[in-house]
Amino acid sequence: LSYDKRWEFPRNRLRLGKQLGVGCFGRVVQAEAVGINDGTENYVSTVAVKMVRDRTNLAAIEGLVGELKILIHSGAHVNIVNLLGACTKEINRGELLVILEYCPFGNLRTFIINHRDTFV
């Protein structure tokens, strides 16, 4: 799979915020993306940004690149967290930012556990 440059989003229009989650190789932060939906600076969207924890971990970077390519190839779907864009210009310095839809209710596992009494 190849990377489609149409997904490239300018890094200077992305403001990183608080950390939402962390794993062995990566972390996810809440962010604001200026104009990611309409292409102008008229609208600021809340998004989630996935990145590697250690910029020197080549395996983690390659894994995130693979995930990005799969998300591009899969396309949008109502039942998955969709790709909105990516910042790849500084990948040679270990910075790869994958911009995803923000889920205001958190991760699915925690949501189901916290609301298990309301499911039939």
Annotated binding-site residues for ATP read 50
Closest CA to 11 of 99, 102, 101: 99
User: Are 33 and 47 within 8 A, CB to CB?
Assistant: yes
Query: Residues forming the annotated binding site?
Result: 50
User: Are 86 and 96 within 8 A, CB to CB?
Assistant: yes
